[in-house]
Amino acid sequence: MHLLYSFCFTLGFLLALPYFLLRGLWQKKYLSNFKQRLGLLPAAVDSSGQGGVWIHAVSVGELLAVLPLAQALRRKWPERPLFVSTITITGQHLANQKLSGIARVFYFPFDWRFSVRRSLSRVRPRIVLIAETEIWPNFLRECQLRRIPVLLINGRISDRSLSWYRRIRWFMKRTLAYVSYCCMQSEIDLERIRSLGAPLEKTEVCGNLKYEMNSPDGIEEKMEDYRRLLGLKDSSFLVVAGSTMKDEESLVLAAFQKLRKHSPQAVLLLAPRHPERFKEVEQLLREYPFYFVRRSTIRAKDQPGSTRTPDVILLDTVGELATLYALAEVVFIGGSLVPRGGHNLLEPALFRKAVLFGPSMSNFRQVAEHFVRKKAAIQVANEDTLAQKFIELYQDPALRQEIGQNGYQILSANRGATECILKRMEALLSEPPSSAL
């Protein structure tokens, strides 16, 4: 089984290699992390400490979800080294930014036995936590051979993934046998992973780690700093469109144009999901009659000399979006007006913001449905209804406040995933460790 999987993985890698080489040369992506993905980790990833915890969070969304857990782990087991791996470059940058001094950060290996073995031999973890549903058969099998328990945390199986996994259920059942325990987000996710072969006694609902987030330290001071930096006035009505996708920015900009007819003081902060699209979105903005600036061009020394507030701010930096939600009056969740499944709506809910999203929210279906049902968010059908809701929320501050407060109450009522995961970790760590191979 694993020989066939490794052959298919290698074949897929070779077929995709020209594409990634071209992107690597053109956009300076992928090539910088290739060595680490072969299991050749830097000296900073020191395995001298025993009993380490390895958390794998593939990209930005997963990483933001595990941050409170990582901090809880450091408090609970300060003697245990903490390691965090990602696959994407943006995830890596954010991990280094958010976990500096807390964890040693590196790239997850390609799922070949030789690269997996190199990484495991260097890190020598006592336990591995995998966020959401990153299922890598060779990695999981090697962990089992070394008797390293693997805990799936914040487990989630999307509609798209479920359809694919069902076609290879026989393979999924054998692969899930390597996982020590599955902590799933919801009853639906629990049913799905059990339907794929995960044993009942190795699965439970722990809840969604994304509910565990807390406001950043010194958020009030940061908000004032950002307000001055971005040239926002007291009268500015800031709309944040977070994690937008290709073909979606034009829809948001068209809706924003209609809002501007009612609110000349409206400002749009546009945050594309993928950094490689920043230049593309900048070119799009040149087609509109907006005065816009790129966030990366704004420096503290430039303020307050600049007196003109931009119509649109292109957020072309990584790691600032979550904090900038705190400045918004209204937040639109990207990836939802186009068929991409939507993104996390809990971050703006933390700051009691009125949240809007489009019809495509399959990645967060249960959360989205819960928020709509509790009047903690508004779902729109298209660009026209998005514009209508922008205008309605601009004209009704009480409605904005009600939606934001309802969202915060949902967030507060659904905490507990971190404690559930810590208890499961304690049970797995109570078993005697084996010597690493």
Q: Report how far residue 327's alpha carbon sits from residue 89's, in angstroms, rounded to the nearest whole number.
A: 27
Q: What is the CA radius of gyration of the chain?
A: 22
Q: Which DSSP string corresponds to 212-267?
A: G--PPTTHHHHHHHHHHHTT--TT-EEEEEEEE-TTTHHHHHHHHHHHHHH-TTEE
Alpha helix (H) residue ranges in 128-202? 137-145, 159-167, 169-176, 187-195
Of 62, 132, 329, 383, the active-site residue reads 62
62 is catalytic: yes
Strands 82-86 and 104-107: parallel
| Residues 256-294 as b or e (16 or more Cβ within 10 Å = b) | bbebbeebeebbbbbbbbebebbeebeebbeeeebebbb
Beta-strand runs (E) in 65-163: 82-86, 104-107, 125-131, 150-155
Choose among 354, 325, 91, 350: nearest CA to 222: 325
Where is 53: in which H helix or E strand?
strand 52-56
C-alpha–C-alpha distance, residues 365 and 371, integer Å: 10
Q: Is 314 helix (H, G, I), strand (E, B) or coil?
A: strand
Nearest 5°: CA angle at 325, between 262 and 264? 15
Closest of 212, 215, 185 to residue 411, by C-alpha: 212
Nearest to 328 by CA among 348, 302, 350: 348
Asked if 232 contacts 309 with a C-beta cutoff of 8 angstroms, the reply is: yes
Q: Which residue type is seen at 139?
A: F
Residues tagged active-site: 62
